[in-house]
Amino acid sequence: MAQAYLDRGVSPTKDEVKAAVKNQDKGLYPGAFCKIIPDIAGDPDWCTAIHADGAGTKSAVAYMMAQETGDDIYYQGIAQDSLVMNIDDLVCIGATDHFFLSNTIGRNAHRVSGAAIAEVIKGYDTCIDRLAEHNIHITMTGGETADVGDLVQTLIVDSTVTVRLPRANVVDVSQITSGLAIVGLSSTGQTTYEDRPNSGMASNGLTASRHLLLHHDYLKKYPETVSSTVPEDKIYCGKYALNDALPNSGLTVGEAILSPTRTYLPVLKTLLPQFRHNIYGMIHCTGGGQVKCRDFGTGIHFVKDNLFPMPALFSAIFELGDIPAAEMYQVFNMGHRLEIYCDESAVDGIIDHCRDYDLMAQRIGYTEASKSDMNKVTIISELGKFEYK
């Protein structure tokens, strides 16, 4: 278990949530990355997915940066975080276009102004417009902004995305087998469709990253950004200020934590038509990090023995010494945030296709049969060898 997360009131594996929903209907494709239901338009050849996610506690860092600088522009990125956490889950079932978005914003109006909310909405519009340049169409259908100061201390930004797709296009990760290559798509660098370098943070591990990196002085300065149930010695335990330079990076610590979640949709929209017959599954390495794959397929041993070098942001977290190496891979993406499970023969073509977008990709591992029906993950990396059952 990832103790660094559990100590701060967060479950990296969401075991309690999984137990709560275990008896629910699993949809048309049990074990797929997202639940898929019959088509809402009634076409038997099509299906529908309705997905909800959000920026999580990243919004607390946006709030702190806005307070520190007096600039509400830092709220824009969390709209992209909220949207991408949905659409990049949905692309893992093969959905690449014609998404319908509804957003939900909950704020404490005493602390988060109407101008800040306007920046969130601008962030949605900017992301949608940028994706439209790549023939990815997202329709904003409206949403809800609620003043819920009794429940929310700063701001919550959530989204719900609906998409229809032909059943013939569904990618069902539950069908992955042994003998496949795993291609990882980098979470860092700068792609052709991004306007700035990405630290790789995305929108998972924020509770751990901000408390492990940022200085304890922020507790006194911004007590509204933490839960009263977290022990004080687990709150803002690091050595950095938000405006400190992140070692081995051109970003400040605050900029690195707030780096907007990268979407892989522009790459995958053009990649899937070429390589769909070679691809058996895709996994968005969000909650659970590099161990998330363990939840998919049956009797699979996932071996990851050629990971990307650890990005500067995660190196800074690890070097503080408060989180064991094995937990790093359970909490953070550690360098790649989407995995493609494919035939060995397709690896070079997929990597070349990603290169056209300045997206780094590499063969990071393979699958083999597990010795039981239980899945297993083995990571062999610069930090050591770790096994997760």
Residue range 86-126, pLDDT digits in tens: 999 999 999 999 999 999 999 999 999 999 999 999 999 99
Q: pLDDT tens digit string along 149-201?
A: 999 999 999 999 999 999 999 999 999 999 999 999 999 999 999 999 999 99
pLDDT of residue 3: 72
**Whole-number percent of the chain with pLDDT over 70:** 96
Q: Mean pLDDT over residues 310-324, rounded?
A: 96
- Mean pLDDT of all residues in the chain? 95
pLDDT at 26: 85
Q: What is the pTM of this model?
A: 0.94
Q: pLDDT by residue (tens digit) across 64-85?
A: 999 999 999 999 999 999 999 9
State which H helix or E strand residue 378 sits in: strand 376-381
How far is residue 237's CA from residue 216's CA, in Å, rounded to a whole number?
5
* pLDDT computed for residue 329 by the predictor: 96
pLDDT, mean of residues 346-356: 98
Nearest to 179 by CA among 385, 347, 7, 352: 347
| Amino acid (one-letter) located at 296 | F
- Separation between Cα atoms, residue 36 and residue 27, nearest integer Å: 5
**From CA 145, how far away is CA 117, in angstroms rounded?**
9
| Domains recognised in the chain with CATH numbers | 3-388 (3.90.650.10)
Residue 144: per-residue pLDDT: 96
Residue with tokens 């393979």: 366
